[in-house]
Structure 1
Amino acid sequence: MRTLEGGRVVDDGAEAAVIARVRAGEAEAYAALVRAHTAVALRAAVACGAGAEAEDVVQQAFFKAYRSLGRFKEGAAFRPWLLRIVVNETRNTVRAASRQRAVAGREAELLAAEPRIPDGADPAVAAEEQERRRQLLTALDGLSEDHRQVVIHRYLLELDETETAAALGWPRGTVKSRLSRALKKLGPALEGGDGHEGHEGRRRAPG
């Protein structure tokens, strides 16, 4: 896995070195992990219903992750581990507030959490991608919680099967079976889109 950090690319080895430094007492090194994973953490919080509390949820998730680094498995991927904390923190926040967010509001916030379209990007392609995300997000409300989570992690957060399994705490076989059933239920909402790969071939949109 390669992660963008402040415009630079950080590979797994470099990230493991940062984690080792933090665990050795260099607390300031943790800022590199925060910069690298804030965007995807915000997307996860918004997609899971954090709403206006998304930034607070992410801040708390990073704090909890920092406090729990002593239990982090050496050699494991940091991003799915962090996203599992984000998802749990979001659930706690939503449960405490006892509220369900409107679909339209969640769509707007998810799009606002997306990175800005780079200068020079094809506007038509960018608009098509945003429309596909809107359609997918709207259709997600018709799914069960498990099915919604597996689709969010695979197609909105662009995790592969192994990372999705780690983030959700499920076996890979469960990820496969639940994703298959979820995509069958989504059916019409996903028809008409051309299959394409996401970053570094990590994600394949259902066709």
Structure 2
Amino acid sequence: MTATATDEARLVARARDGDQTAFADLVRAHHSAAHRVAVLMGAGAEADDVVQDAFVRAHAALSGFKADAAFRPWLLRIVANLVRNLHRSRRRRLDVLVRFVAHDPRADEPEQPDDLVLADERQRALWSALWRLPDTDRQVLGCRYVLDLSEEETAHVLAWPKGTVKSRAARALKRLRALLEDEVDRG
């Protein structure tokens, strides 16, 4: 275990024992990554709420957290599950709305967050293409290449087998390249 992992394990143990300062340190250490996962998975304007709920749930579930496990992937899996639940809830609300009103489902696609608008045109094109990918592609690429998680950590966050992460990441990269090539051809 590295010094950082050991320090984090101590923080988790202290937080499990009721040390609120230790849990606050965990929140500070992982808030940014949790927020990025929520945004990348399409939480949109509700990303802050998802992250807050994830930390509340993580705190409540600390007693069941395995002492030898890494906290970050465990937390990010909670975030991913909450975003999935949010999508299901959105779909159910949309289904009800569609029954009563003529509605364009494309209006409910997640918008690219303002904080991801980047100055460099190439990066904007990359983000634009990433958002046009299916959710599962965006999720696996976001975890692997934006958050720089390992295949194992990504598998844990997304609750997929490690082999699935590897194959979906390869296919998602191929789709992303095709989208970017199309954009270059149009430009």
TM-score bucket (shorter structure) = 0.7 to 0.9
Is the contact between residue 45 and residue 54 of structure 1 (CA under 8 Å) also seen in structure 2?
yes
Partner of 1:201: none
Q: Which has the higher helix share?
A: 2
Residue 161 (1) aligns with residue 151 (2): yes
Instruction: Give TM-score, length-normalised by structure 1.
Output: 0.70
Give the letter for the 1:65 counterpart: A
Partner of 2:134: 144
Partner of 1:34: 27
Residue 106 (1) aligns with residue 106 (2): no
Is the contact between residue 44 and residue 113 of structure 2 (CA under 8 Å) also seen in structure 1?
no
SS in 1 for 2:46: helix
SS in 2 for 1:11: helix
Distance 2:122 2:60 in 1: 39
SS in 1 for 2:77: helix
Residue 181 (1) aligns with residue 187 (2): no
Gaps of 5+ in 1: 3-9, 112-125, 192-207
Partner of 2:39: 46
Following superposition of structure 1 onto structure 2, how do residues 1-207 of structure 1 map, counting pairs within 5 Å? 11-98=4-91, 100-102=108-110, 105-111=111-117, 127-128=119-120, 131-132=122-123, 134-189=124-179
The change in CA–CA distance for 1:190 and 1:49 in structure 2 (over 3 A counts) is same
Give the letter for the 1:145 counterpart: D
RMSD: 2.5
Distance 1:178 1:18 in 2: 34
- Tell me the CA shift for residue 142 of structure 1: 3.9
Which structure exhibits the higher relative contact order, with contacts defined as CA atoms closer than 8 Å and separated by 6 or more residues?
2
Distance 1:87 1:142 in 2: 19
1:133-190: per-residue Cα shift (whole Å, max 9, x none)? x333322344333222111111122212121111112222111111111111112345
Q: Identity rate of aligned residues, in percent?
A: 50
- How many residue pairs were aligned? 166
SS in 2 for 1:59: helix
Is the contact between residue 61 and residue 82 of structure 1 (CA under 8 Å) also seen in structure 2?
yes
